[in-house]
Amino acid sequence: MRPVRRASPASQATGSWTAGAVLTIALPTLLAMGPTPQAPPNTLTTDERAAGWHLLFDGVTMDQWRAFRHPDARTGWQVQDGTISLVPADLITRDQFADFEFAFDWKLVRRGGNSGVMFRAVEGRAETYHSGPEMQLLDNAGHDDGKVPETSVGANYALHAPARDASKPIGEWNAARIVADGAHVEHWLNGQKVVEYELWTPDWAARVAASKFRAWPQYGQARRGHIVLQDHGNAVAFRNLKIRVR
């Protein structure tokens, strides 16, 4: 396992970038999600553009996203009021990413809501969660998963518990970030680093072997893959999806 790097990670992506509105791809150099110059939703500030951020969603179309194992986005997802909202089937980026910072806003609409964002997912499996680690998005107070630290909001689902519940109440927007730098991964929620872990280590292997993911030996093994917005059957909305790759 290589040493943990504290600087903002980088990533490689394929394909060209198209400026967007609700889905944003750009990762600032800051390690905490502190205040940045405000811009309208689904746009980038001048500083963000200079720092290498790119939009993944323009608030109008989902051209940079598609359904898992399908060539287009003909799923229950749709654009509503400048957000990508679940209306079901997992939605994945058309491009694949290795090392990156992925920033996004999310909110759950109803009590008990449950969703997630996965990364480095590959399509050789029947489901996205057979390969891609997941940052859990959840209403802790209204869902049974919130009673178990390893499946609560912000967790590396079923494997690593968050340090704290940093989420906002139902109906309010949360700012989140996933940093993937080789084996090192961080989950940030509303300006706080809530989870940090290392892939591909003996500890990682032991945790997977003790979880439901033992049924899929390639879980969390891909070095690059798609970012996934999970359909878990609950109303969820995303905006300001940004990624920075190196």
Q: Report the CATH number at residue 138.
A: 2.60.120.560
**3-state DSSP call for residue 205?**
helix
Mean predicted confidence (pLDDT) in 55-65? 83
Residue 7 counted as domain residue: no
Is 62 part of any domain? no
How crowded is residue 104: how many other Cβ atoms within 10 Å of its Cβ? 27
Q: Is the dihedral of CA 123, 127, 128, 131 positive or negative?
A: negative
Please count the structural domains in the chain: 1
Measured CA to CA, the distance from residue 138 to residue 146 in angstroms comes to 7
Q: Span 214-231, mean pLDDT?
A: 95
- CA-based nearest residue to 22, from 77, 75, 88, 90: 77
Assess if residue 8 is contained within a domain: no
Question: Has residue 234 got a pLDDT over 60?
Answer: yes
135: tokens are: 């940052």
Q: What is the DSSP letter of 140?
A: G
C-beta of residue 134 within 8 angstroms of C-beta of residue 116: yes
Lowest mean pLDDT among 3-17, 47-61, 98-112, 173-187: 3-17
What's the pTM?
0.70
Mean pLDDT along residues 167-188: 97
Structural domain harbouring 122? 68-100+107-235
Position 103 scores a pLDDT of: 97
Is 146 among the domain residues?
yes
Residue 228 included in any domain:
yes
Q: For residue 19, is pLDDT > 60? A: no
**Would 5 be classed as within a structural domain?**
no
In a domain, 42, yes or no: no
Q: Is residue 201 part of a domain?
A: yes
* H helical segments located in the chain: 46-50, 202-209
Q: Which residue has the higher pLDDT, 6 or 172?
A: 172
Q: Which residues contact 180 (CB under 8 A, 6 or more apart)?
A: 9, 11, 97, 98, 99, 100, 101, 102, 119, 120
